[in-house]
């Protein structure tokens, strides 16, 4: 604590010689850090893959889905599925530029996701032991999200293994927006457990809270480099409420009103630069922020 205070004073002292006062403030708050233009741009292909999750399987299987597909022109599709009704659309394939297998799940629009995550009857339940062998029974997730992930789990795993072997890679990135982000976060955990030698990461957009504290801790240990990107005052990331026992894993990136992106340390950082602090209740949320834009990309097909 004393060392930290001294460090702040040193930063303050050295900065105030070199920089005007606005710069000094940024230096002191350095634990919440702004992303560079290049760091933001690096998310772009994943953002587009999350958006492509909304395209029907008949168009993702041969990469004929229009603007979303054309924006990632070198993608090699492997499998697609879902009916967009009882099972969200999904696709799996390989991106040679990123040298990663990509898994994407369709999301829902704000009017459909809000009832799922504001329902006071929401149940937390343990993960399916056949899909998630060895995971402690203290780990609990939203029952609807758990069921949605289980619906496509084995088909996704088979497609990922096919893509990994065809393209000689161990890198897998799961992406999605909204409900699709919740399914893809569970997929990332599932794939990392089923294939311990794979290098799995998750990049999600407008992610609701998926599970309890033990779940968030497990995710932090298995997927230490994940990102969940929240746009401005989107209410979805603050739901279901913490009072119901839900906790976000670390890795939040928050798009501020200024369009700057900041990395928020910890789980559910309550700083007003991060979603949990910026949107204290659903009434301070702006539903229209849920679909984007995320660096110019509006989710949808
Ligand atoms: C893609 O597949 C769909 C459904 O099988 C088909 O109707 C369409 O013509 C195909 N498009 C291209 C560009 O191959
Ligand atoms: C962590 O994720 C970011 C964003 O996807 C990526 O640019 C970076 O290379 C990753 N770092 C590691 C160590 O995997
Ligand atoms: C939020 O970020 C700040 C840095 O500004 C950090 O000191 C704090 O521990 C974080 N809070 C949580 C809950 O992780």
**Distance (Å) from CA 225 to ligand 2 centroid:** 6
Kindly give the residue spans of alpha helices, DSSP state H, lying in the chain: 2-18, 21-28, 37-52, 57-60, 67-70, 110-118, 143-166, 179-194, 213-222, 275-278
Per residue in 188-197, pLDDT (tens digit) is 999 999 999 9
**Local confidence band at 120 (pLDDT 50, 70, 90 cut-offs):** confident
Choose one of 58, 60, 62 to mutate for the ligand 1 pocket test, by most ligand atoms within 8 angstroms of C-beta. 62
Domain parsing of the chain, residue ranges: 2-289
Mean pLDDT of 179-189: 98
Mean pLDDT of 244-260: 97
Compute the distance between CA of residue 74 and CA of residue 57 in angstroms, rounded to an integer.
18
- Which ligand minimizes its atom distance to the CA of 175? 2
* In contact, 276 and 32? CB cutoff 8 Å: no
Nearest CA to ligand 2 atom 5: 43
Mean pLDDT of 246-268: 97
14: number of Cβ within 10 Å: 12
Per residue in 125-180, pLDDT (tens digit) is 999 999 999 999 999 999 999 999 999 999 999 999 999 999 999 999 999 999 99
CA 271 to centroid of chain Cα atoms: 19
The mean predicted confidence, pLDDT, of the chain is 90
Regarding the domain with residue range 2-289, which homologous superfamily does it belong to in the CATH classification?
Answer: Alpha/Beta hydrolase fold, catalytic domain (3.40.50.1820)
Q: Is the pLDDT of residue 16 over 60?
A: no
**Local confidence band at 114 (pLDDT 50, 70, 90 cut-offs):** confident
**Distance (Å) from CA 278 to ligand 3 centroid:** 14
Backbone angles phi, psi at 282, to 5 degrees: -60, -25
């Amino acid at each position: 604590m004393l060392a930290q205070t001294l460090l702040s004073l040193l930063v303050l002292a050295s900065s105030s010689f070199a920089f005007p006062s606005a710069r000094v403030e940024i230096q002191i708050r350095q634990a919440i850090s702004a992303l560079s233009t290049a760091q933001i741009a690096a998310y772009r292909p994943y953002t587009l893959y999350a958006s492509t999750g909304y395209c029907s399987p008949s168009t993702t299987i041969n990469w004929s889905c229009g603007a979303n597909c054309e924006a990632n022109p070198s993608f090699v599709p492997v499998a697609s599925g879902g009916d967009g009704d009882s099972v969200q659309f999904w696709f799996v394939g390989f991106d040679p530029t990123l040298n990663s297998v990509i898994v994407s799940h369709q999301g829902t629009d704000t009017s459909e996701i809000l009832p799922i995550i504001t329902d006071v009857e929401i149940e937390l339940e343990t993960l399916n032991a056949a899909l998630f062998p060895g995971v402690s029974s203290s780990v609990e997730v939203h029952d609807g999200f758990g069921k949605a992930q289980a619906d496509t789990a084995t088909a996704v795993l088979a497609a990922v293994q096919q893509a990994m072997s065809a393209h000689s890679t161990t890198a897998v990135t799961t992406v999605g927006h909204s409900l699709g982000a919740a399914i893809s976060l569970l997929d990332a955990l599932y794939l990392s457990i089923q294939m311990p030698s794979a290098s799995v990461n998750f990049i999600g957009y407008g992610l609701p809270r998926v599970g309890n504290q033990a779940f968030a801790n497990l995710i932090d240990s298995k997927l230490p480099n994940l990102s969940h990107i929240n746009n401005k005052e989107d209410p979805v990331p603050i739901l279901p409420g913490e009072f119901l026992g839900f906790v976000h894993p670390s890795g939040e990136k928050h798009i501020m009103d200024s369009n700057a992106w900041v990395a928020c340390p910890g789980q559910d950082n309550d700083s007003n630069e991060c979603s949990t602090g910026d949107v204290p209740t659903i009434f301070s949320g702006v539903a229209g922020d849920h679909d984007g834009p995320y660096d110019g990309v509006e989710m949808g097909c």
